[in-house]
Amino acid sequence: MVFDAWTIPDQMSQWRGSPGWHVDPATVTSELKPGGRHHHDKVRESDGQVVGTDAVFTEYFPPDVFVAKQRITGDDGINPDQPLELRVEFTKMGRHGTLVRIIQGPYDPSQSELHSEGWELELERLSQWLQANATPIEGAAR
């Protein structure tokens, strides 16, 4: 379920973005395979600023990991001419948990803390979205 939330466009567009931002669902495309392209636009609600992400999957191994080379535009802290790499790993933890490990960069050192905080906020939104959309697991404690 966690891997799907990251990779299926209809699901990803419902939770991605830090508070005050949202993903425009009409902009999300994803070819879920090595060499497949991905695109989404995040929109800041206060002023309509758009940050676009264009990516190509370099690795895609559901439900364990995906890696993408990214070009991000519209973010003053990221040079759109310097590609970033995003690696997201999913590790099953216990019966009902998943550890998500995000590695992205390189960032300018002055921007790395800001982006780390942004990922933490997005992961909180993911957790809330998963809780709201989870189907009960038979035999699971409530």
Asked if the structure places residue 137 within a domain, the reply is no
Which residues fall within 8 angstroms of residue 22, CB to CB, at 6 or more apart?
16, 42, 43, 45
Q: What is the CATH number of the domain that holds 108?
A: 3.30.530.20
Q: Provide the domain limits for residue 16.
A: 2-129
Distance between CA atoms of 98 and 42, rounded to whole angstroms?
25
Residue 138 falls within a domain, yes or no?
Answer: no
Asked if the structure places residue 53 within a domain, the reply is yes
Residues linked to residue 104 through DSSP beta bridges, in sequence order? 86
Residue written as token pair 């993903």 = 23
- 134 located within any domain: no
Residue 69 located in a structural domain: yes
Q: What is the pLDDT along the chain (142 residues), one digit of tens a residue?
A: 999 999 999 999 999 998 999 999 999 999 999 999 999 999 999 999 999 999 999 999 999 999 999 999 999 889 999 999 999 999 999 988 999 999 999 988 888 898 899 999 999 999 999 999 987 655 444 4
* 85 within some domain: yes
In angstroms, rounded to a whole number, what is the distance separating the alpha carbons of residues 45 and 91? 33
In the chain, how many domains are there? Answer: 1
Asked, for residue 142, whether it belongs to a domain, the answer is no
Number of neighbours of residue 83 by Cβ within 10 angstroms:
15
Cα 38 from Cα 56, distance rounded (Å): 6
The model's pTM is 0.90
Q: Are 96 and 137 in contact (CB under 8 A)?
A: yes
Give a yes or no: residue 99 inside a domain.
Answer: yes
